[in-house]
Amino acid sequence: MQNLTTPMREWIMRVIITEKPSVNNMLAQVVGGIYPNEEIFFIEAQPFWLNNFRFPKGLSLNEYPFYGQPAYKREQPWGTLVRRLSTHKDGLAIRGEAISLDTAKSVMLRADEIICACDWDHTGIWGFDLFIEQTLGPERASTYPVLVLSGGLDNNSVRRAFKSLITTDHESYQALLSAGKAKRLFEYNYAINSLAILGNLYRKLSSRKEPVFISKYTLQLLIWLSTNSPMAPWKIMSYMVDDWMGTGKYSKKDVRHLYGMGSAASRSSILQDLIKLGLAEETAKQKMQITSLGQAFVDDLHPDCSDVDLQFRIDAWMCQGVEAAEPAIRRYLNTFFGKQLRYKSKAR
């Protein structure tokens, strides 16, 4: 991808897109032997920096349930974390300055090659694709080389991975990308409808005025707690990982992407969200139980809002890929929120 407006160089410049500094450090130990006498940079592009939906504004209630294609904000601050450009030198990744997407673009346009070294899962591959779109856009190449980090992370395994690069048009890459897109398609439309429909229900019951988002798993866990509390938080999180079996319609052995309700990073946040919203509370015995507000919220939900199969259902859609799964995703969301919208109006 040599930019023709820049002077010709005598050396090769490569940019490796990763998710986090620890991967930079790991790759830096071996990349010099793979690409000797080259200029090598690392850019951290953690997916959660990109997962900021841009929602439509000004929708009236009669436009719900809403359905549309995901749109994303381009630049979003994320606490104290920053995207950095690191330089390879003597087997080390030297962390440099924080960079914007525009600065990342200028570096990438100077590169002779851009390599994807994001995590080999639906989140990492989806994140790389969106990062390329948000930086290079119409200037992106048709394909990019991909370092598949699915084996060991020792130096020998990383060397083997570098020697067997695939490209972004490979079927295994495309399957992960399509799985990631299917998940975001569901989450985008769920979030828009939840903010309006479930958010309005919460505000009516709590007398709070600010926008409230009740996530897919926060809702399902609240419904479950209405008949299974009080319970120790650690036991709840263990149940979310290992013991959530659903109705049995979906076999856990067929799961390929979503292992448990939420991720390891999000499960404690799901519990904290319930507490912050006043839907659950911790007892004097350090157990968690549903509050009167939480029970009132559950009582005002349409019975079909309870879906103990949700995580397995989403995983099955991801396995199908976004194009095959989209009709079912759209039908599910329209039915789920349509029933709740009508149920709400009857309740009034």
What does the pLDDT read at residue 77? Answer: 58
d(CA 76, CA 101): 10
Q: Give the pLDDT of residue 65.
A: 97
Statement: residue 225 has pLDDT above 60: yes
Q: Are strands 13-18 and 84-89 parallel, antiparallel or unpaired?
A: unpaired
- Residues in Cβ contact with 41 at an 8 Å cutoff, skipping those fewer than 6 apart: 13, 14, 15, 16, 85, 86, 87, 88, 107, 111
For the chain, the helix, strand and coil percentages under 3-state DSSP, each to the nearest 5: 50, 15, 35
CB contact at 8 A, 113 and 143 = no
Say what the pLDDT of residue 135 is. 93
Mean pLDDT of the chain: 91
Cβ–Cβ under 8 Å, residues 105 and 135: yes
**Helix or strand or coil: residue 164?**
coil
Query: Where residue 82 falls among pLDDT bands split at 50, 70, 90?
Result: confident
Give the angle 135-141-142 at the CA atoms, nearest 5°. Answer: 130
Q: What is the pLDDT of residues 30-53, one digit of tens each?
A: 999 999 999 999 998 876 555 689
Q: Which residues contact 212 (CB under 8 A, 6 or more apart)?
A: 195, 198, 199, 202, 203, 277
In 3D, which of 225, 117, 199, 121 has the Cα closest to residue 166?
117
Distances (CA, A) of 41 to 32, 89, 95, 134: 11, 9, 10, 19
Residue pLDDT, tens place only, 106-141: 999 999 999 999 999 999 999 999 999 999 999 999
- Domains assigned to the chain: 13-46+81-169 (3.40.50.140), 181-347 (1.10.460.10)
**Res. 9 pLDDT band, cuts 50 70 90:** low
Please tell me the pTM assigned to this model.
Answer: 0.92
- The Cα 181–Cα 178 span in angstroms is 5
- Tens of pLDDT, residues 177-209: 999 999 999 999 999 999 999 999 999 999 888
* % of the chain surpassing 90 pLDDT: 77
Query: What are residue 85's phi and psi, to 5 degrees?
Result: -100, 120
DSSP 195: I
Q: Please tell me the number of Cα atoms within 13 Å of 125 on its side-chain side.
A: 29
Min mean pLDDT across 159-173, 246-260, 324-338 is at 246-260
Look at residue 225 and give its three-state secondary structure.
helix
DSSP string, 288-308: EEE-HHHHHHHHTS-GGG--T
Residue 51 is predicted with a pLDDT of: 65
Q: How far apart are CA 68 and CA 309, in angstroms?
A: 24
